[in-house]
Structure 1
Amino acid sequence: MMNQLYIRDYCPDDFGALCALFLRAVRETASRDYSPEQVAAWAQIDESLWRKKFSCSDVSVAIYQGDVAGFIAVQNDYIDLLYVSPECARRGIATALLSHLQRQHPQTRFRVEASITARPFFQQQGYWVVKAQQVEVRGRVFTNYVMHKAST
């Protein structure tokens, strides 16, 4: 599997594919843990905000079997986005993206606000829950988890 997967830096031509992947991941994968109303609120993109976010972030893109399969976006020590396409779930894509990030920044203890869906993944990767919190997105309240990477 790993010879079919590689990770590269984001380029502006990736923007449309990453937005589409994000929307599918929320609508298909996260919908197991959130209500249809929450998914509808979450699965929206402000293109100008996202373009700015990507230009100010360290973004890596996973390519699996020639297609965009996932991405991670980080600002300083904060993992802002980590998404994998639904058809590539459970194939090690998110683990590879996180490992790539940690190899690039070995001294950094990353933090994340993980969704209910992402929490088990981050726990398996050595992150611990600092606190559960309620956040509002477009009028809907979501539970997520502030998590930090455990010291090594």
Structure 2
Amino acid sequence: MGQALPKPALRPFLPSDVATLAEIFQASIEELAADDYSEGQREAWAAQAEEESFAQRLAEGLTLIATMDGSPVGFISLKGADHIELLYVHPAVAGQGVGSMLYEALEKLAGARGAERLTADVSDNAEPFFRQRGFQAQRRNTVPLDDEWLANTTMEKRFASKEDGKVSS
């Protein structure tokens, strides 16, 4: 019988996490986005993890960390009341439910804070993940990074209002 995988846990972001989260960010882009973005595009994107500005992005929002055996393996960050700024999972744990766990926790927190929707500017490789969770494409974007242009899609998920009597999922 195979060995059980460690169960992921959640915790809040700590300033000491910045270097590890930058590594997860860069590894995720390099490995998981390789089919959708050129090498130059991935390099320009991964360069956005410059430590000081990356630390500020993580600290400005509500950032949750997924850990396995105490080590960070993914993170999600909410900017303002309703915009998913960052969602990255280390390639070694991709497809093991880490991203889903992070997203579900953030959706609950956003809803508890009164958000009526969530938005995200989603990379081409992440679009199926968001569609499976009820997000719909709103518009296509072209983002300049250094000498490269990256495409992404702004997606939105509206929560059912309490008057509708429906529960969002």
Alignment of 1:3-152 (within 5 A): 4-44=7-47, 45-76=49-80, 77-106=82-111, 107-108=114-115, 109-152=117-160
Q: How far off is 1:6 after superposition?
A: 0.9
- Uncovered stretches (5+) of structure 2, i.e. residues with no partner: 161-169
Q: Deviation per CA, 1:105-139, whole angstroms, max 9, x where unpaired?
A: 21321100000011110000110000112111112
How far apart in 2 are the matches of 1:139 and 1:67?
A: 34
Structure 1 gap segments, 5+ residues each = none
- Alpha carbon RMSD of aligned pairs, Å? 1.5
CA offset digits 1:82-106 (Å, max 9, x no partner): 0000010001111100100111121
Residue identity matched to 1:5: P
Q: Normalising by structure 2, what TM-score?
A: 0.85
Q: Which has the larger radius of gyration?
A: 2
Q: Shift of the alpha carbon at 1:149?
A: 0.8
Deviations 1:8-59 (A, max 9, x none): 1001111111011101001111112111111111111222211221221100
C-alpha distance in structure 2 between counterparts of 1:16 and 1:134, whole Å = 28
Whole-angstrom CA distance in 1 between matches of 2:62 and 2:29: 22
How many angstroms apart in 1 are the aligned matches of 2:101 and 2:43?
A: 29
Q: What is the percentage of aligned positions where both structures have the same residue?
A: 28
Misfit runs of 4+, over 6 Å: none
Distance 1:2 1:73 in 2: 25
- 8 Å contact from structure 1 (residues 128, 150) kept in 2: no
